[in-house]
Amino acid sequence: MIGLENVSYGYGDGELLSGITLDLSPGSFHFLTGPSGSGKTTFLKLCYMELVPTAGHVRAFGRDVREMDRDDIARARRRIGIVHQDCQFLDHLSIAENIALPLAVGGRAGPDDAENLDALLGWVGLGNRAGALPPELSGGERQRAALARAVIMSPDVILADEPTGNVDWEMSKRLLSLLAELNRMGKAILVATHDLNLIRAAKTKVNARVLRISDRRLQLAGADL
C-alpha cells in the first residue's frame, strides 16, 4: 500500500535518511526505532506524503507521490491514519466532536457514521467520556482519543509516532492491544518508538518486524530486543 524504494531525504545540511526501501503491505506490523534525531518522524512524514524524497520513490496505493497533485494526495491520505505523540485537539469541542472531525471534513456525517462513532468510543474505552472537553482528559485518554480519530475513516495504514511516550505502562499495553486488534483486521501498522519494553510485549500479540534507523539507513534490528 505504501512503498519506499531507495529513498533518501536531506534538509539542506546533509542527508538524514539514505537508500531506504520498505513496503507497508496489508496486515504488516513494523516497529521503527533509533535514537532521537535519527529521522523516525521524517520517515513517517515521507510515508504520509507530507515530505517528498530528495532521491528515490515513494508510492502510495500504486501511485508515485511525485506524480500526484494536491487532490490526489488528499484522497490518499484518507486511507492513512496518523497518531502523533503530542496529540492536538480543539479544546472548545467535546472529545466525541474532535474524533468525528475527519468525518465532517470528508463530508460524511450520516446516521451510520454517528453509530460507528459511538462504537469506536466504546472500543477505545471512552464511551463515558464522549462529552468531556480535551483539557479534562488524562494523558492515556488523550492517546486513546487520538487513536480513535486516526481510525474513524477506516484507513488501510496506521502510522503512530511515539504513541506511548507520555503514558504509563498499563496504558501502553492497552494501546498496544488496540493496535494489535487493528492489525488482525488487515491494517498495516508502523509504530515509531524508543520503548523497547513495548516491542518485547508485542511479541505475544503480533508478528512484527523491528527496524532501526542507524547511520541514515534502515536496518533490521537485532534479536536481542
Per residue in 156-208, pLDDT (tens digit) is 999 999 998 878 898 889 999 999 999 999 999 999 999 999 999 998 899 99
Does 169 share its domain with 66? yes
Does 50 share its domain with 143? no
Does 72 share its domain with 159? yes
Does 68 share its domain with 96? no
Tens digit of each residue's pLDDT (9 = 90 or more) over 35-55: 888 899 999 999 999 999 999
Distant-in-sequence, close-in-space partners of 73: CB < 8 Å, separation ≥ 6: 49, 60, 65
Does 106 share its domain with 143? yes
Count of domains observed in the chain: 2
Q: What CATH number is given to the structural domain containing 180?
A: 3.40.50.300
Residue 208, CA atoms < 13 Å, CB-side half-sphere = 29
Query: What is the CA angle 64-67-69, rounded to 5?
Result: 120
Residue-range definition of the domain harbouring residue 19: 1-79+155-225
496505493: which residue's cell? 61
The pTM of the full predicted model, rounded to 2 decimals, is 0.91
Does 206 share its domain with 178? yes
